Amino acid sequence: MTNFIIKTHRVGTIYSKPHLFLLNKGMNSGKPQKEPFTNSFVIIFQNEEDCESLFFIAYSLWQTKFWHQHLVGSVIPFLRLPDFKKQFNPQASLMMVEHEQHQKNVAALKLLEKKEKQYKEDMMLINDIRRAILYRYCRK
C-alpha cells in the first residue's frame, strides 16, 4: 500500500510533494481535484505514480457516492477528517488489492476522460459553427 498523509488544507499553503485535494463540504464531498477547494482535505504523496493511482480511487468513491453515508450536518453536510481517514485507507487498500486490474481500470478511466474532453471540444466547435451560420443568415 502506498504511503500518504491526509490533512485539512489551509488556504495559501503550497505543497512541494505530489498531492491532490478532496472537497469536504456539501453533497460533492469526496470530489478529487488537482487544484485546491476552499473546504478540502489534502492528500500528500511521496511520488507522482501514487498520486495518480489514488486520484482515480478517490474519483471512483466520489462518483459512486460512497461518502454520502458518512456526511454529517443538516444544512450543509460535511465530511469529518477522522471519518475520512478511517474509511479512505481501507477502501483504497481494498480497491488496489488486484494491482493489474486496478491499472486496467485506471487506463480505461483515463481514456474515457480523454474522449470526454475531445467530445466537449467538438461540441464547442459545432456550436461556434452553428452560431456563425445563424449570424450570417440573420445579417442578409
CA–CA distance, 137 with 114 (Å, rounded to integer): 35
Whole-number pLDDT of residue 36: 85
Whole-number pLDDT of residue 91: 85
CA–CA distance, 119 with 110 (Å, rounded to integer): 14
HEC readout, 41-76: EEEEECCHHHHHHHHHHHHHHHHCCHHHHHCECCCC
Whole-number pLDDT of residue 3: 77
The β-bridge partners of 72 are 78
pLDDT tens-digit readout, 55-83 = 888 888 898 899 998 899 888 999 898 98
Whole-number pLDDT of residue 21: 92
Whole-number pLDDT of residue 115: 96
Predicted structure pTM score: 0.76
Q: Distances from the Cα of 139 to the Cαs of 64, 112, 125, in angstroms? A: 49, 40, 21
Tell me whether strands 40-45 and 32-33 are parallel, antiparallel or unpaired: unpaired
Region of poorest pLDDT, from 106-110, 114-118, 124-128: 106-110
